[in-house]
């Protein structure tokens, strides 16, 4: 199996962030899963074929045959398995991303857990989109802003080539509350704040904040707060020599064990292991 795999070196992007990306030529029958992801993951099949098995919005499993020129979207928390064909195994390029505007972008593209397969009648737009994905996978040495620019170009072409593009939702009062909530979290993440505190700053109750926040971002305010804290913790682990305990305190965790557990839930490894991997 031939593949390249890269971890994006920065996560300081709130509206949209690139996490990982790569290009893989699978061996016959190569399988991944069942597994869940923390972020959105898009695969575009360059050649060959395979099968995606994914749970829909009701938790029911479905199988999708995916061939070259098509793709599939995996959603955070969705249980999926995907398998390369035993006779004509697929080769695909993939990108993992997330952010405040991701659910809006995917809505424009028409993706959902009930409709995860990418198909288009426009070969021209499809090929341009594939070139953007390949460019990202082959240029890990470029700056974070350069790669983010190409991620936006990819998403633009994905939306343009969607079979039934949907208009983006217009700005509304809930967007204001969400921006206020995010601003408060950004400025106070290092303190002992609760979601009740965030809601109070916005002048709304916790349940309403949770509902509009999840609708707009695909995650709860608590999940966003934890993710933001862990992003800052990763920066400190990489850029400073502070102890793991001190870094935990710097991002709002007085208990080092609670910090390590939260960090591992997001990154899959302990803070110390992450620091060693990114030296």
Give Cα 159 to chain centroid, integer Å: 17
- Cα-Cα-Cα-Cα torsion 242, 272, 250, 240, nearest 10 degrees, comes to 30
Instruction: Tell the residue number behind the tokens 């426009």, with chain if given.
Output: 122
Strands 40-47, 117-118: pairing is unpaired
* Per-residue confidence (pLDDT) for residue 94, from 0 to 100: 93
**Residue 251 burial by CB count (10 A; 0-12/13-18/19+): exposed, middle or buried?**
buried
Q: How far is CA 248 from the centre of its chain?
A: 24
pLDDT value at residue 170: 46
Q: What is the CA radius of gyration of the chain?
A: 20
User: Which residues are 77's β-sheet partners?
Assistant: none
* Chain segment 35-87, per-residue pLDDT in tens: 888 889 999 999 999 999 998 888 888 999 999 999 999 998 888 999 999 99
Cα separation of 3 and 117, whole Å?
23
Closest CA to 91 of 51, 57, 47: 47
Sign, CA torsion 256/235/105/96? negative
Q: Residue ranges of the chain with pLDDT lower than 70? A: 1-14, 163-172
Confidence (pTM): 0.60
Closest CA to 42 of 129, 120, 101, 125: 129
């Amino acid at each position: 199996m031939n593949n390249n795999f890269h971890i994006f070196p920065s996560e300081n992007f709130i509206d949209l962030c690139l996490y990982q990306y790569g290009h893989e030529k699978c061996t016959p029958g190569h399988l991944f899963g069942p597994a869940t992801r923390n972020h959105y993951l898009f695969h575009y099949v360059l050649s060959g074929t395979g099968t995606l098995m994914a749970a829909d919005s009701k938790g029911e499993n479905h199988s999708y045959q995916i061939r070259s020129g098509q793709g599939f979207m995996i959603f955070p928390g969705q249980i999926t398995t995907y398998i390369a064909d035993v006779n004509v195994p697929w080769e695909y390029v993939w990108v993992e991303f997330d952010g405040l505007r991701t659910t809006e972008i995917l809505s424009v593209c028409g993706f959902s857990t009930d409709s995860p397969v990418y198909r288009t009648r426009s070969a021209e737009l499809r090929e341009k989109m594939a070139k953007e994905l390949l460019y990202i996978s082959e240029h890990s040495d470029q700056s974070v802003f350069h790669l983010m620019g190409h991620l936006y170009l990819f998403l633009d072409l994905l939306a343009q080539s969607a079979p039934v593009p949907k208009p983006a939702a217009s700005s509304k009062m809930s967007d204001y509350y969400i921006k206020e909530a995010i601003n408060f979290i950004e400025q106070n993440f290092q303190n002992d704040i609760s979601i009740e505190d965030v809601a109070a700053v916005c002048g709304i109750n916790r349940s309403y904040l949770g509902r509009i926040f999840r609708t707009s971002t695909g995650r709860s305010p608590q999940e966003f707060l934890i993710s933001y804290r862990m992003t800052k913790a990763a920066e400190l682990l990489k850029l400073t020599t502070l102890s793991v305990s001190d870094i935990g305190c710097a991002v709002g965790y007085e208990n080092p064990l609670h910090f390590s557990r939260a960090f591992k839930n997001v990154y899959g490894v302990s803070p110390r292991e992450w620091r060693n991997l990114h030296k």
